[in-house]
Structure formats: structure tokens, C-alpha cells
Amino acid sequence: MTQHGFRFAGLGAALPDKLLTNDELAETMDTSDEWIRERTGIGSRYLGGTTSGLATEAAAAAMERANVGPEDIDQLLLATTTPDYMLPGTAPAVAENLGLDCGALDIQAACSGWVYGLVLANGFLLQGQKRILVVGAETLDRMTDYTDRGTGILFGNGAGAAVIETGGGGEILGWDLGADGKYIKILWAEHGDTMLMDGKEVFRQAVTAIQRSANAALDRAGLTVDDIDFVVPHQANVRIVEAAWKRLGFTMEQTGMRLEETGNTSAASIPLALDKVLDEGRISDGDTVMLIGFGAGMTWATTIVRWAGDARSATTA
Ligand code: UT7
């Protein structure tokens, strides 16, 4: 579809220091490690930090891995549901921290935001820019009620970032972006308040959205499920992924997960999982990789990429 190339020059991740395990959570809430693991696949989550701080740390790691300096970045896209302030956006602060002198824009598409960012980055590359920094960063502890059994078990903080550049033989083979505002009030928060969620409805809509978006991206790429080597889905609940995979025909063996360690980190979850998968040496240049985000809005976003760039050896991780 594109001639210009789409290369993951480097990925980076950042997690705050404070780890909250299920057992620790069960000290303040009527729940248990066993229940949370069985119903969600989550074992712990990280709390603390700031969105701009975590974003800066992840972005700096991605730039170091890509071996580029601030002058090499043409655009900063920051996907977040938890900006530092209501006004202004968080991207300008991150750009300042990194010493960037380029456009800096927040994307609010909830858990789909980072994949929206990849598609937007592709658009900037098509318009002649060379290198785009796409960051997903969240401090969801600021809008999570850790005494609520529905949401308190799920969410945590973190950030992931990628430097995307032209050339290198990679490309976006297919993509799909979508939104359905009928479902705003199945997962939402008023200004200054904590999140409210209809967990069962989010679960149902998420499975449908994943299936629909994956198929739309495959159609656009002229590919089938069998052509996909590896998938990294948004890390919300392992049962959502398993239910969607049953319908689509993917296996957990070809799936990148970091949910057990981090919980749901919304816009940060896919780059955080990707960073781990690269450390494990599970993606190589030339692989066909699908990334699927879904979440509040509802929003959903899928890209299928021919992978090029940051492909680490498991032995050097
Ligand atoms: O990025 C998208 C973010 N959102 C999501 O991914 C949410 C998707 N939904 C979910 O993950 C699930 O709906 C939850 C994990 C939130 C809840 O799981 P569920 O299987 O839908 O549980 P439920 O609300 O139907 O509750 C089942 C039982 C109930 O007990 P009874 O009535 O059967 O006796 C609940 O009271 O489990 C009980 N329960 C809990 N028990 C221990 C509900 N929450 C908990 C809990 N610990 N945290």
C-alpha cells in the first residue's frame, strides 16, 4: 500500500517503581489473587509516576535504541487517556523534556490510542516526514477507585514508545480505525472523577470490535488469518483475547502478552507488550505482525505491518 517504508527503529518502555500485587489489593478489597487471575489473567499492576514523566522515559529509551537524537524526530504523537492537565496537552511537556523541536500532539482514543498513532505516523511519513515518535503513556491510578471490585483490579500505569522511520523494507500492509459513540457510557469518567464501567458489556463489545477490526484490516491488506505470524492485542483481560481468538482462529502461542505483570495500561499496553516480545526475540524482520487496540469510546484500531527494525535477539535481552 505504501512505497515509503515503515520501520520500527527502536522501542522503549517505562514502568513506575511501586508494584501492587493482587494479594496486596485483597487487603483493602473483597477479592482474591485466585479470582483476579482466573477472571482476568492479571497478577499485579504498577502505580505512581506522572504521564509526562513515564512518556519521557519510554521515549528516551526508544530514541536510544534507534540511535537518534532530538533533532532527528519530526513529530511527537502521544496517546493518553490520563493527561497531566486538562489544559494543555501532555505532548508539549514531553517534547520539552526530550529537547524536541517539532509538532507535539495528544491523541485521546483510550486503549486504541497508540495504534491510532501508528496509522497517523504513517500519514506523516507519506507527507514526507522521516521519523515519528509514537508514545502511549498512562497514569490510570489517578482515575481508578482501588476499592471498586470491577475496575480496581484491572488498571495500572506505564508507558511504551516507538521511533517509526521511513525505509528499511517494513510497511503498513493494512489498517482499520473505528469508533462507536453509542457505547460512551459503558466505560467513562466525569472530569475529576474515577472510572465507571459496565464490565460485562465492555467484555462483549470488545470481543466483537476485535473480530470486526481484525477482519477489516485483513481485507484491506488482502491477507487472511493464516498470513499473520504474530499478534499483539490490547492487554485488557486474557479472556477477552481468548474469546476473540476462538472466533478469528489465532492461537495464544502467536500472541504477545504482558497483562499478568502490568494489568491494563490502556494506551501504553501494546507498546509495553511489544517491548517484552522483542526482548524475548519473538519477532523478526519480515514477519507479518498484527496490532489490535480496543477500548472506551468505543474505539478500535488495527494495523498489520511487515515488521522491520527493532528485532532483538533473545540471548542479548
Ligand atoms: O480496556 C477495556 C477495559 N475494560 C475491560 O476489559 C473490562 C471487561 N470486563 C471484565 O474484565 C469483567 O467483566 C470483570 C473482570 C470486570 C468482571 O468479571 P465478570 O466475570 O464479568 O464478573 P461479574 O461482574 O459477572 O461477577 C461474577 C461474580 C459475582 O458474584 P456472584 O453474584 O456470582 O456471587 C461478583 O460479585 O464475581 C463477583 N465479583 C468478584 N469477586 C471477587 C465481581 N468482581 C469481583 C472481584 N473479586 N474483583
- Domain's final residue, options 139, 165, 191: 165
Same-domain check for residues 137 and 185? no
Give the active site residues. Answer: 111, 234, 264
Residues 6+ apart with CB under 8 A from 39: 237, 239
Interatomic CA distance for residues 128 and 75, integer angstroms: 12
Residue 150 alpha carbon to ligand 1 centre in Å: 6
Dump pLDDT digits (tens) for 147-156: 999 999 999 9
- Judge whether residue 71 has pLDDT over 90: yes
Whether residue 152 is found in the same domain as residue 31: yes
Domain total of the chain: 2
* Cα 223 to Cα 18: distance, rounded to the nearest angstrom: 42
Please state the pTM of the whole predicted model.
0.97
| Distance of CA 155 from the midpoint of ligand 1 (Å) | 14
Q: Is the pLDDT of residue 317 over 50?
A: no
Looking at the domain assignment, is residue 260 inside a domain? yes
Kindly give the number of the ligand 1 atom that is closest to the alpha carbon of 149.
48
pLDDT of residue 145: 95
Q: Hey, whose CA ends up nearest to atom 36 of ligand 1? A: 149
Q: What is the pLDDT of residues 87-128, one digit of tens each?
A: 999 999 999 999 999 999 999 999 999 999 999 999 999 999
Residue to substitute in 39, 143, 149 for testing ligand 1 pocket (most ligand atoms within 8 angstroms of CB): 39
Reported as a single tens digit per residue, the pLDDT across 192-236 is 999 999 999 999 999 999 999 999 999 999 999 999 999 999 999
Say yes or no: CB of residue 203 within 6 Å of ligand 1.
yes
Assign residue 275 the CATH number of its domain.
Answer: 3.40.47.10
Same domain? 219 vs 271: yes
For the cut 80, the answer to whether the pLDDT of residue 49 exceeds it is: yes
Is the CB of 39 within 6 Å of ligand 1? Answer: yes
